[in-house]
Amino acid sequence: MDVQNRVAIVTGGAQGIGLAIATLLAQRGAKVALTDVNKDKAVAEAEKLKAQGYEAMGGYCDVSKVESIKESFKEVADTFGGIDILVNNAGILFSSPVEEITEKEWDLVMSIDLKGCFFCMQQALPYLKGREHPRIISISSVAGKMGSYASGMAYVAAKGGILSLTYGMSRRLAPYKITVNAVCPGTIETDIIRQWTPEKIQELTANIPLGTLGKAEDIAQAVAFLAADENDFITGEAISVNGGMYCG
Ligand X SMILES: NC(=O)c1ccc[n+]([C@@H]2O[C@H](COP(=O)([O-])OP(=O)(O)OC[C@H]3O[C@@H](n4cnc5c(N)ncnc54)[C@H](O)[C@@H]3O)[C@@H](O)[C@H]2O)c1
67 lies in the site for ligand X, by CB under 6 A = no
Nearest approach in angstroms of CB 220 to ligand X is: 11
Q: Which of the residues 94 through 153 are near ligand X (CB under 6 A)? A: 112, 139, 141
9 lies in the site for ligand X, by CB under 6 A = no
Nearest approach in angstroms of CB 36 to ligand X is: 5
Of 66, 80, 83, 40, give the one whose Cα is nearest residue 120.
66
Size of the site for ligand X (CB under 6 A): 29
Between 110 and 234, whose beta carbon lies closer to ligand X? 110
208 lies in the site for ligand X, by CB under 6 A = no
Among 32, 58, 62, 106, the residue binding ligand X under the rule CB under 6 A is 62
Q: Is 155 a catalytic residue?
A: yes
Nearest approach in angstroms of CB 9 to ligand X is: 11
Non-local CB neighbours of 175 within 8 Å, separated by 6+ positions: none
Between 45 and 133, whose beta carbon lies closer to ligand X? 45
Among 3, 9, 14, 109, the residue binding ligand X under the rule CB under 6 A is 14
Between 162 and 173, whose beta carbon lies closer to ligand X? 162
Q: CA-to-CA distance for 70 and 120, rounded, in angstroms?
A: 8
Nearest approach in angstroms of CB 42 to ligand X is: 8
Q: Which of the residues 168 through 207 are near ligand X (CB under 6 A)? A: 185, 187-188, 190-193
Sheet containing 31-36: give its strands across: 56-60, 31-36, 7-11, 85-88, 135-139, 179-185, 238-241
Nearest approach in angstroms of CB 16 to ligand X is: 2
- CB–CB of 11/90 below 8 Å? yes
Of 230, 161, 132, 188, give the one whose Cα is nearest residue 19.
188
Among 23, 89, 231, 240, the residue binding ligand X under the rule CB under 6 A is 89
Residue 127 identity (one-letter amino acid): Y
The total of other beta-carbon atoms located within 10 Å of residue 181's CB is 24
Non-local CB neighbours of 178 within 8 Å, separated by 6+ positions: 125, 128, 129, 134, 135, 136
State which H helix or E strand residue 129 sits in: none
The helix/strand/coil state of 182 is strand
- Of 155, 167, 176, 246, the catalytic one is 155
Among 24, 37, 87, 239, the residue binding ligand X under the rule CB under 6 A is 37
Q: CA-to-CA distance for 14 and 178, rounded, in angstroms?
A: 26
- Residues marked active site are found at 155
Contact residues for ligand X, defined by CB under 6 A: 11-12, 14-18, 36-38, 61-64, 89-93, 112, 139, 141, 185, 187-188, 190-193
